[in-house]
Amino acid sequence: MRLVVAAVGRLKGTPESALAERYRKRAEQIGRRIGFRGVEIVEIRESRAADIGRRMIEESIAIADVIPDKAATVVLDQRGDDLDSEALALLLRHWRDAGRPACAFIIGGDDGLAASLREGASRRLAFGKATWPHALVRAMLLEQIYRAMTILAGHPYHRA
C-alpha cells in the first residue's frame, strides 16, 4: 500500500519541512518491512483566485487529480475524528489488508476544501480542537504515520 500526503502549499527550507521530511523517511523505511510501499508528499500550488469559493474549488480539483485510483482518503479537518495513534495504525492496517492500493492524506489550503472532497473522504481526521498552522499539521501528520508504522511493526517507539 502506498501512502500519499497531498498538501496545499510549499514548505521548502523551513524547520517544519525538515521535521516532516525526517518523519517521512522514517515512516517509509519501517513501512517497507510491513507492506507499505512508500510515503510521498505532493505539494499543491495555492490558488490565486480572488474569490474564496473559487480558491477552494481550484485547490480541491488539484488535490483530487493526485489521489491514486481506489485510494482510501483521509481529510485533515478540525471537525474530524480525534483518533489516537493506535486507532490510526489499525485503520491503515485494515486498508492495507483489504487490498487498497493507496491511502491519501489531504491537507487543504487556508480556506479549506470543497465540500465534495471533504464529504467524499473515507475518514476525516483532527488533531484536537485547536487550529494548527499547515506546516505543523504536515509535520504532525507524518510523525503520526511514522508512529502508526512502528505500532504495526511492533517497535517500541509508540510507547514513548
Domain limits of the chain?
A: 2-159
**For residue 22, how far is the Cα from the chain centroid?**
15
Q: Which helix (H) or strand (E) holds 37?
A: none
| Fold annotation for 2-159 | Alpha/beta knot (3.40.1280)
Handedness of CA 139, 23, 35, 155 (dihedral sign): negative
pLDDT at position 106 over 80: yes
pLDDT digits (tens, 9 = 90+) for 1-37: 999 999 999 988 899 999 999 999 999 999 999 999 9
Backbone angles phi, psi at 150, to 5 degrees: -65, -35
pTM, rounded to two decimals? 0.94
State the Cα–Cα distance between residues 158 and 144, nearest whole angstrom: 9
